[in-house]
Amino acid sequence: MPSDLDQALLLYFDGQEQDKPSTQEEPHKPLNFVKETLSIFPSQPMDGETTPTPKASTSALPIAGSSRRSPAPAAADGRTLAVGKTSKAAFKREGGGGGGSAMAASASSELEGPKTPDPKTLRRLAQNREAARKSRLRKKAYIQQLETGRIRLAHLEQEIQFTRAQGAFCGAGILSPDTALFNLEYERWQEAHQQVISRLRAAVEEHRPDGELQPHVDEAMSHYGVLMAHKARLVGADPLHLLSGLWKGAVEQCFLWIGGFRPSELIKVVVRHVEPLTEQQLAAVYSAQQAARQEEDALDGGLQALLRSLSDVVSSSDAPSSSQQTPPVMYHHHHPPAAAAAMAAASFMGQYGSYSNLQLAMDKLANLAIFLRQADEVRMRTLHALRRMLTVRQAARCFVAVDDYFGRLRALALFWTTTRPHPAAG
């Protein structure tokens, strides 16, 4: 260390002052003495050479005041290194020791492993996870609610457009709430029915066994019952809307029979797609077709008789004289429903008869609901009869063929509306 070196140098210079003659006789002795003195402290040799240390020289220079010797670097030319370099090396050694202690502490902490959280932390983490799960569920429900509202709004916009387009066929130019609700329910039923038939069609095309086809056939059969339930809710409120067929496409209205399809024609369509049939099945199909035609003829006769009776009531000859007649009341589609109804009643009684005739005509119109209910019953009986006389696979092809038939009618109406030539203006 620097203190030991200083003591050695002081001893050297004291000896030089006391023995100057010997120094003059031996000019190279001080240099050799310094080398011998420095060789007391072990150090790495310069340029790969080791400086020999004579035993006599080491014994001749006692160093007092320190029993611990630290290495001191020596230069190749015999000069000592600066004290600053020695202190810098010591500082580096101290820094290296601190880094080693930090690395040792880190390694020991890794060996110890992760600490087990206390019950309070675990409970807080569980509460956070539960709160996040509930938040995700609320977000999903909110998104579904928005999507449902968007679909409902789109249906309402379609209803408004449909109402405006069909305003000429509605007396006051507006639809009742029950009628508008039925139109919306019918649109939804069509969308759901497309999904039902799509699943049934996929099962048929994949040649699923009868056990897997049976649930799809039952689902399609029950879905027609859902439509009949929608119609039954409207038939008492507005039978004219069902009878007119305004809730169906233009081409479908051409084949409409008392608010729906004609059962005998449906049997004819189905038979073409479920062949080959056994003789027993052919006999059952022929019997069901004849029974459907008989019921259709009976309902047609009763409906025609009702319409003739209604015509007689409207054209009754007990109308008041011309002097007692009131001028016709003009009403428009922008009038409220109650005001429009009062104006229509006043117009009817003023031009065509008394209040009794008006009440009788209203009763005749209400009787239309009876024919609509009976016609829907005939339609459902025909579908159930087809389901019983056919096998599961044939019944599946039957419902697919029925959906394809009505789908082509709707496509034909759309194609006619979009591609027909329009007459030139003027």
Tokens encoding 8: 């050695």
Instruction: State how many domains the chain has.
Output: 1
Tokens encoding 347: 């117009």
Lowest mean pLDDT segment, chosen from 88-97, 142-151, 216-225:
88-97
Query: What residue numbers bound the domain in which 199 lies?
Result: 177-315+348-419
To the nearest whole percent, how much of the chain has pLDDT over 70?
61
Residue 218 domain flag: yes
The closest alpha carbon to 182, from 229, 146, 225, 136, belongs to 229
Cα angle for residues 74, 79, 81 (degrees, 5° grid): 60
Tokens 């007649």, residue located: 325
Cα angle for residues 33, 35, 40 (degrees, 5° grid): 100
Averaged pLDDT score across all residues of the chain: 74
Residue 324 domain flag: no
Q: Span 109-120, mean pLDDT? A: 66
**Contact present, 163 and 174 (Cβ < 8 Å):** yes
pLDDT in tens, 119-135: 888 889 999 999 999 99
Lowest mean pLDDT segment, chosen from 74-83, 84-93, 257-266:
74-83
Q: Determine the Cα–Cα distance for residues 117 and 98; give it in Å rounded to an integer.
A: 31
Residue 374 domain flag: yes
Comparing 130 with 34, which gets the higher pLDDT? 130
Residue 79 domain flag: no
Q: Determine the Cα–Cα distance for residues 72 and 63; give it in Å rounded to an integer.
A: 15
Please say if the pLDDT value at position 82 is more than 60: no
How many angstroms separate the first and last alpha carbons of the chain? Answer: 120
Residue 102 domain flag: no
Residue 73 domain flag: no
Q: Is 271 helix (H, G, I), strand (E, B) or coil?
A: helix
Give CA 124 to chain center in angstroms.
Answer: 31
